[in-house]
Amino acid sequence: MSESSWKGEVTKPSGFLSILSFCAGVWLSLVSVINILTGAFAPGQKIEWLGFFSGSTLADAYSEHTSISLNSGDIVAIALSILLIFLGTKGIQSTISMDSFVQSVIQRPVKMMDASGSMSQILSNWMVVGGFGLYIIWSMIYTTWVDPGIYSVCMVMIVGGLGMEALNDASE
């Protein structure tokens, strides 16, 4: 392997990391907007992003939310979400194309009922969509968008479904 091809392989974007970056950016922007408007930590409480990300004490991670407000932590979180979305989009565009990524996201709920697919394909799609659905519904009902308990449950479902899908694709 020549040195130039080796450098090309090491520096080319990863499709998986690009999608992960894009999705994390979308999640962070959603939670940031909710945090500015209503507070995303718990009912009536706003995340203080700088304390939340730095792992400070719990008292530094949230404050009372009385009205729509924007502070420096919100600006940092929004800037980080824009950066993650931008980097993810650039990587997706250079690996699988944004059109095929969007099409796969749109087709996922359709594949949940597709009888032509294998049982593992149907189950993996149910797990992914169910994980996202559970997170959204739970967060809307309990108005706590950064609950580590629901993250752990939803992540197991989402990552398990994506893992099953990857194994199924590898066997074909």
Name the pTM for this structure.
0.81
The proportion of the chain whose per-residue pLDDT surpasses 90, expressed as a percent, equals 35
Question: What is the percentage of the chain residues whose pLDDT exceeds 70?
Answer: 91
Confidence band for 29, pLDDT divided at 50, 70 and 90? very high
Q: What is the 3-state secondary structure (H, E, C) of the chain?
A: CCHHHHHHHHHCCCHHHHHHHHHHHHHHHHHHHHHHHCCCCECCEEECHHHHHHCCCHHHHEEECCCCCCCHHHHHHHHHHHHHHHHHHHHHHHHCCHHHHHHHHHHHHHHCCCCCCCHHHHHHHHHHHHHHHHHHHHHHHHCCCCCHHHHHHHHHHHHHHHHHHHHHHHHC
pLDDT digits (tens, 9 = 90+) for 9-20: 666 777 788 888
Q: What are phi and psi of 63, to 5 degrees?
A: -145, 170
The pLDDT tens digits of the residues spanning 32-72 come to 999 999 988 888 888 888 887 777 765 677 888 888 888 88
Domains of the chain, residue spans: 1-96, 104-172
CA–CA dist 115, 121 (Å, integer): 10
